[in-house]
């Protein structure tokens, strides 16, 4: 697999066809000058020692050296080296609520953006633990499987939006069920589940799945996003412009409130803790300490490809082409021609 490190310099390759056109123009002008300023036969004798073929070869060498120099500048990288990494940690799955109620703005800039920032900060605080991400609304699915690649997890986190799940609602039971399936069924420890939501669930049987999670050895930490007083849920058009607030079937504005009681019950049933998300994020340090403390397991080794720079090879080709171009003379070999003339005399 080849990767380009400096994409911004790819436009430099336009110099190559520019050089081709330049040399074509130069040789055409030379031909026109010979025709204009002297007798063609006389001029042919005067420039007999100069080889047009060699001039073309020197031009091609210069064009080629320019092409390889630009290739070196963009820094091509090839993944050829495999490294093995072994770590100790826990399996941590984070579930993020992406229902429409998470668009409420009682916490800046919105509940959803706040939740994503909290997860990103949580990932930054991990050292050796595997991280996975579940998104849920009316249903749930694994957005990022358990991985040691924190960069990939944060990249996937950036794609999270309410558009991922077309089924409306906040089905926490589905998130719990999906987490139980994702964790290693053969273990009864090293499993942490972080649930980030406003807690408004009117669909599933939360108590049943919470007890099932506790039997599987899963410790659940819940993070409440929003305010208990509640705020209306904004609605947007396809261009991202606000067009009003969500209304119920009777035309009344829907008010979304943080349900702390439900989230506290979920956490306490599994010996976890509940945290309320604050603008200062003072709860994050405590959450990170809680999810990472205690006994850890040796996680499966991760083999990954480390991309190595290969620009030096192209620089070597540039140097060789320039050396050949410098040593190559434009004068043609006329030794045989003079030898023939002497024998005739």
Which CATH number fits the domain that encloses residue 287? 3.40.50.410
Q: How confident is the model at residue 43 (pLDDT cuts 50, 70, 90)?
A: low
Q: What is the DSSP string of 14-38?
A: GHHHHHHHHHHHHHHHHHHHHHHHS
| Two structure tokens written together for 215 | 């039997």
Residues 232 and 201 in one domain: yes
Domain limits for position 325: 2-81+307-344
Residues 217 and 259 in one domain: yes
Residues 267 and 321 in one domain: no
**Cα 342 to chain centroid, rounded:** 74
Residues 174 and 287 in one domain: yes
Residues 214 and 338 in one domain: no
- CA dist 288 and 284 (Å) reads 6
Residues 152 and 53 in one domain: no
Q: Considering its fold, how many domains does the chain have in total?
A: 2
Q: What is the mean pLDDT of the chain?
A: 84
Low-confidence winner among 10-14, 98-102, 226-230, 235-239 (lowest mean pLDDT)? 235-239
Residues 155 and 22 in one domain: no
Residues 247 and 228 in one domain: yes
Residues 170 and 214 in one domain: yes
Per-residue DSSP letter, 282: T
Q: How confident is the model at residue 241 (pLDDT cuts 50, 70, 90)?
A: confident
Per-residue DSSP letter, 194: E
pLDDT number for residue 221: 96
Residues 155 and 246 in one domain: yes
Residues 118 and 255 in one domain: yes
In this structure, the number of other CB atoms found within 10 A of the CB of residue 11 comes to: 9
Coil, strand or helix: which one is 127?
coil
Residues 187 and 59 in one domain: no
Place of tokens 């403390």: 293
> pLDDT tens for residues 122-157?
999 998 899 999 999 989 999 999 988 899 999 999
Q: Is residue 114 within 8 Å of 342, Cβ to Cβ?
A: no
- CA dist 147 and 324 (Å) reads 51
pLDDT number for residue 85: 61
């Amino acid at each position: 697999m080849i990767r380009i490190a400096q994409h911004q310099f790819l436009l430099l390759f336009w110099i190559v066809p520019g050089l081709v056109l330049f040399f074509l123009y130069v040789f055409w002008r030379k031909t026109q000058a010979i025709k204009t300023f002297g007798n063609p036969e006389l001029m042919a004798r005067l420039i007999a020692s100069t080889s047009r073929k060699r001039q073309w070869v020197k031009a091609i060498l210069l064009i080629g050296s320019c092409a390889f120099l630009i290739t070196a500048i963009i820094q091509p990288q090839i993944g050829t080296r495999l490294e093995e990494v072994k770590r100790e940690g826990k399996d941590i799955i984070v579930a993020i609520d992406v229902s429409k109620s998470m668009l409420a703005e009682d916490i800046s800039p919105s509940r959803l953006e706040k939740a994503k920032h909290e997860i990103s900060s949580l990932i930054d605080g991990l050292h050796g633990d595997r991280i996975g991400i579940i998104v849920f609304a009316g249903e749930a699915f694994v957005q990022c499987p358990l991985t040691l690649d924190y960069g990939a997890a944060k990249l996937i986190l950036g794609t999270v939006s309410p558009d991922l799940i077309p089924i409306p609602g906040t089905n926490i039971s589905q998130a719990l069920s999906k987490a139980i399936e994702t964790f290693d069924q053969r273990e009864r420890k090293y499993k942490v589940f972080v649930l980030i939501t406003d807690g408004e669930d009117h669909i599933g049987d939360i108590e049943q799945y919470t007890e099932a999670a506790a039997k599987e050895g899963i410790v659940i930490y819940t993070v409440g996003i929003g305010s208990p007083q509640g705020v209306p849920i904004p609605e947007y058009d396809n261009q991202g412009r606000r067009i009003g607030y969500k209304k119920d079937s009777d035309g009344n504005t829907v008010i979304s409130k943080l349900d702390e009681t439900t989230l506290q019950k979920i956490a306490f049933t599994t010996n976890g803790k509940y945290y309320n998300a604050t603008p200062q994020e003072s709860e994050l340090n405590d959450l990170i300490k809680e999810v990472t403390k205690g006994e850890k397991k040796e996680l499966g080794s991760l083999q990954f490809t480390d991309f190595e720079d290969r620009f030096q090879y192209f620089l070597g080709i540039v140097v060789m082409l320039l050396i050949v171009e410098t040593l190559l003379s434009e004068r043609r070999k006329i030794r045989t021609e003079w030898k023939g003339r002497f024998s005739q005399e």
